[in-house]
């Protein structure tokens, strides 16, 4: 009985000697893969046989290239065992930190060891800019509509826009705080202006924080197509102002009406005198 107790204690010591010593994995971008290397250390006094390490990816945007389980026939006492997996992040994986549950089991284990592996899916920000104009006519009030498009996989945060006017007068604020431009999304800013000349340009500075919270500064330099009033009319952008013509027509009609009334009055007066003389 005493011998059995001693053997049980020794076995428990050996069983408890299998520890996860190191997990090595690099961050993964959506649509890409990375290798995971897990080192299990047998610091017990006995060899450990039929060791299996399994990953549970069911609630993550990750898959394995190959099996989600790796096994070793034996990890000798005072030796390490290496398990290798290749993980791939789904194309539409949302950047962030994920925990992958794992189980570690082996022959005659008193219980299955469980834990989690932390994996970081990174996102990159890729801001692009497009511009359109409303009423781009020299000397008139219009607007510059700037669209900020994030074609990356990570959000651009704390986005701030500063405009440096060139060829137009700002009617809006020089700086605009935009906030977050989400991945695969866009935000629009409308800038009220009075265009001063044809050769105008949009100069701007965009500052934001990327996925890793690094401060990024991007410069905008885009030509603006502005027209004179006559050019705008010829291109159908603006309509010719016919107010003067309309006013002239109204005045002529009023004059004709006054003349007609005067003539009609004279005729009535003439007929009245002729009637009196005839009587």
Read off the pLDDT of residues 88-127 as tens digits, 9 standing for 90 and up.
999 989 999 999 999 999 988 888 899 999 999 999 999 9
Q: Do the Cβ atoms of 200 and 224 come closer than 8 Å?
A: yes
Residues 109 and 146 in one domain: no
Query: Lowest mean pLDDT: which of 157-161, 214-218, 243-247?
Result: 243-247
Domain assignment present for residue 244? The answer is: no
Q: Is the pLDDT of residue 268 over 90?
A: no
pTM of the model: 0.67
Judgement on whether residues 111 and 6 belong to the same structural domain of the protein: yes
Tokens 């450990």 identify what position?
48
Do 133 and 214 sit in the same domain of this protein? yes
- Is residue 57 domain-resident? yes
Tokens describing residue 155: 């959000």
Cβ count within 10 A of residue 86 = 13
Q: What is the pLDDT of residue 158?
A: 97
Kindly report, residue by residue over 146-180, the tens digit of the pLDDT. 999 999 999 999 999 999 999 999 999 999 999 99
In 3D space, the residue among 136, 161, 135, 158 whose CA is nearest the CA of residue 148 turns out to be 161
90, 121, 152: which is the final residue of a domain?
Answer: 121
The CATH number covering residue 94 comes to: 2.60.40.10
Do 86 and 140 lie in a common domain?
Answer: no
Q: Are residues 105 and 90 in the same domain?
A: yes
Report how many domains make up the chain: 2
At residue 61, what are phi and psi to the nearest 5 degrees? -85, 40
Q: Is residue 6 part of a domain?
A: yes
d(CA 235, CA 78): 84
Is the model's pLDDT at 76 over the cut of 50? yes
Q: Which of 171, 167, 164, 161 is nearest to 203 (CA)?
A: 164
Q: How many CB atoms lie within 10 A of CB 188?
A: 12
178 and 225, same domain (yes or no): yes
pLDDT score at 255: 82
Q: Which residues neighbour 162 within 8 Å (Cβ) at sequence distance 6 or greater? A: 174, 175, 204, 205, 206, 207
- At which of 217, 234, 251 does a domain end? 234
Tell me if 247 is assigned to some domain.
no
Element housing 159 (H / E): strand 156-166
SS3 160: strand
Mean pLDDT of the chain: 86
Does 150 lie in the same domain as 92?
Answer: no
Nearest in space to 15 (alpha carbons), one of 111, 89, 83: 111
Averaged pLDDT for residues 59-68 = 94
In the block, residue with structure tokens 């610091």: 43
Residues 154 and 140 in one domain: yes
**According to the model, what pLDDT value does residue 193 have?**
95
Q: Are residues 115 and 180 in the same domain?
A: no
Q: Say how far apart CA 82 and CA 228 lie, in whole Å.
A: 74
Please determine, for residue 9, whether its predicted confidence score (pLDDT) is greater than 50. Answer: no
When mean pLDDT is compared across 96-110, 142-156, 187-201, 230-244, the lowest value belongs to 230-244
| Nearest CA-CA partner of 100 in 63, 56, 69, 66 | 56
Domain assignment of residue 269, yes or no = no
- Asked if residue 73 and residue 156 are part of one domain, the reply reads no
- Domain span at 219: 127-234
Report DSSP letters for 189-253, one per residue. EEEEEEE--SEEEEEEEEEEE-TT--EEEEEEEEEEE-B-HHHHHHTTSS----HHHHHHHHHHH
pLDDT at residue number 234 = 83
- Per-residue confidence at 1, pLDDT binned at 50, 70, 90? very low
d(CA 269, CA 250): 29
Last residue of a domain, one of 121, 143, 167: 121
- Sorting pLDDT into bands at 50, 70 and 90, what band is 8? very low
Residues 112 and 208 in one domain: no
Based on the domain organization, do 107 and 146 belong to the same domain?
Answer: no
Segment 187-192 mean pLDDT: 95
């Amino acid at each position: 009985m005493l011998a059995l107790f001693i053997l049980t204690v020794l076995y428990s010591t050996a069983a408890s000697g299998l520890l996860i010593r190191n997990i090595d994995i690099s961050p993964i971008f959506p649509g890409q893969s990375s290798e995971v290397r897990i080192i299990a250390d047998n610091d017990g006094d006995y060899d450990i046989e039929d060791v299996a390490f399994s990953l549970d990816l069911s609630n993550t945007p990750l898959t394995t290239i190959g099996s989600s389980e790796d096994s070793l026939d034996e990890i000798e006492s005072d030796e390490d065992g290496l398990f290798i997996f290749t993980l791939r992040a789904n194309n539409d994986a949302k950047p962030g930190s994920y925990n992958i549950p794992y189980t570690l089991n082996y022959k005659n284990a008193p219980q299955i060891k469980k834990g989690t592996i932390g994996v970081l899916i990174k996102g990159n920000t890729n801001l692009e800019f497009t511009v359109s104009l409303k009423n781009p006519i020299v000397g008139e009030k219009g607007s510059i509509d700037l669209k900020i498009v994030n074609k990356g996989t990570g959000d651009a945060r704390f986005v701030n826009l500063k405009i440096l006017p060139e060829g137009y007068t700002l009617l809006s604020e020089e700086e605009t705080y935009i906030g977050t431009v989400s991945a695969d999304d866009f935000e629009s800013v409308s800038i009220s202006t009075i265009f001063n000349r044809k050769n105008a340009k949009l100069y701007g500075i965009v500052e934001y924080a990327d996925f890793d919270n690094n401060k990024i500064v991007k410069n905008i330099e885009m030509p603006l197509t502005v027209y004179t009033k006559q050019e705008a009319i010829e291109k159908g952008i603006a309509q010719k102002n016919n107010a003067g013509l309309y006013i002239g027509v109204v005045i002529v009609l009023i004059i004709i009406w006054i003349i007609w009334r005067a003539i009609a009055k004279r005729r009535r007066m003439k007929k009245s005198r002729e009637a009196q003389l005839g009587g």
